[in-house]
Structure 1
Amino acid sequence: MSDLGPGTRPGSRPRWGLVLLGAAGGAGLALYVAAAPFVAPALRRVCLPFVPASAAQVETVLQLLAGRRGALVDIGSGDGRIVIAAAKQGFRAVGYELNPWLVWYSRYRAWREGVHHNTRFYISDLWKVNFSEYNNVVIFGVPQMMQSLEGKLESELKGNARVVACRFPFPSWIAVHESGKGIDTAWLYDAKSFKTAAK
């Protein structure tokens, strides 16, 4: 007498085994699809992890750029909070972000906040973007990238540009102003100074 249970033919596997195998495979695929956009940027030459800007950091950036107008770019814009806050202050604000999930979320937030007409978000590697059209630049970088980014911005930005570096300063440039404390510290750089020093 067979002990395989009702509805199971001799020599065949129980159906629940196939169901569990399928469920495990489906869960693994879903996890990969959900995690891939977040893991992929970390596999690049320089990892720029997503750490949301605090309310204090957003306020510091706006204070350092007070009185400025024109085009603003947030390099590695994350969930878009700097871009959205800048748009509310009258900037034509753009964010470049490698993570497509964050870009889509930023676009949604900009629409919800009513500033989608003054904001743009692009899925792009920062090293492949020319920033020459922007006269206000914001970057939340990591130490490993700041030296290379110095050279890129020196060659691309015009003399009227201002750069705000948050959390980590540029290694060679001399800041014209520093604001905030601890991880909320931000440094303001004038392109006239660092472009002249680079010559």
Structure 2
Amino acid sequence: MEGGEGPAPDLPARSEAGGSQRTSWGLLLTGVAGGALVALYAVATPFLTPALRKVCLPFVPATAKQIENVVKMLRRRRGSLVDVGSGDGRVVIAAAKEGFTAVGYELNPWLVWYSRYRAWREGVRGSTSFYISDLWKVSFSQYSNVVVFGVPQMMPQLEKKLELELQDDARVIACRFPFPHWTPAHVTGHGVDTVWAYDVSAFRSREKRP
């Protein structure tokens, strides 16, 4: 009787392995499809976004140097991070590799699905989250670090939104374009790779001065 009961425990293991394999194949196929759609979206966006959004925010992938500069501005920082308009997820994934719990908000569902695939492929799926959402409908009050790849038309309105929502210990990192009224605590990079870091406590203390 003991010999007949031996093989039974192997069945769940095989079932779990099969399920894991199917999940991996599903993520891989999502990544392949997502990569093709990201390329198509990058071409089509400049023509489609003016009709779909009040403020045109085209998807332009971050350069390796921009990511490096963002990571530099995050050194010695703590807390959670959010990328406002996360695109293909590069900033979120890089932040997760630095130990942050990182979140991305992006309006385009294809980019969100592709970002999830990339996070899985890079081994940081457990510390990243990506959501399909309009940035103007999300509160960022729970985040200590905010990364923004914006355009000049949106920066004044976003500046007011973040002023109202963020805690005093938060840091805002702007890429490509600075905020119009804040004074950066740190600046690094040149040209399109320039990154500005703003500490909320610093500009709030200046506002309180008589």
Q: 1:64 to 1:104 in 2, by over 3 A?
A: same
- Residue 108 of structure 2 corresponds to 99
- Residue 162 of structure 2 corresponds to 153
Cα separation, 2, equivalents of 1:40 and 1:61: 29
Cα separation, 2, equivalents of 1:68 and 1:177: 14
- Residue 78 of structure 2 corresponds to 69
Q: Write the deviation string for residues 51-108 of structure 1: whole angstroms up to 9, x where unpaired.
A: 0000000000000110112100000000000000000000000000011100000000
121-130 vs 188-197, greater mean Cα deviation = 188-197
Segments of 5+ residues of structure 2 without an aligned counterpart are 1-39
> Normalising to structure 2: TM-score of the pair?
0.75
- Among 160, 176, 181, the alignment partner of 1:172 is 181
Shift of 1:47: 1.1
Cα separation, 1, equivalents of 2:179 and 2:207: 14
Shift of 1:197: 4.0
Identity %: 66
CA RMSD of aligned residues (A): 1.6
- Residue 141 of structure 1 corresponds to 150
- Among 78, 84, 90, the alignment partner of 2:99 is 90
Q: Which of the pair has more CA radius of gyration?
A: 1
Cα separation, 2, equivalents of 1:152 and 1:128: 11
SS in 1 for 2:94: helix
1:45 aligns with 2:15: no
97-106 vs 187-196, greater mean Cα deviation = 187-196
Structure 1 contact 154–198 (Cα < 8 Å) conserved: no
Equivalent AA in structure 2 for residue 78 of structure 1: G
Q: How many residues align?
A: 165
Structure 1 contact 69–90 (Cα < 8 Å) conserved: no
Segments of 5+ residues of structure 1 without an aligned counterpart are 1-33
Cα separation, 1, equivalents of 2:86 and 2:207: 27
Shift of 1:196: 3.3
1:128 aligns with 2:109: no
Q: Write the deviation string for residues 133-160 of structure 1: whole angstroms up to 9, x where unpaired.
A: 0000000000000000010000000000
**Going by fraction, where is helix more abundant, 1 or 2?**
2
SS in 2 for 1:134: coil
Cα separation, 1, equivalents of 2:106 and 2:49: 10
Equivalent AA in structure 1 for residue 147 of structure 2: V
> Normalising to structure 1: TM-score of the pair?
0.79
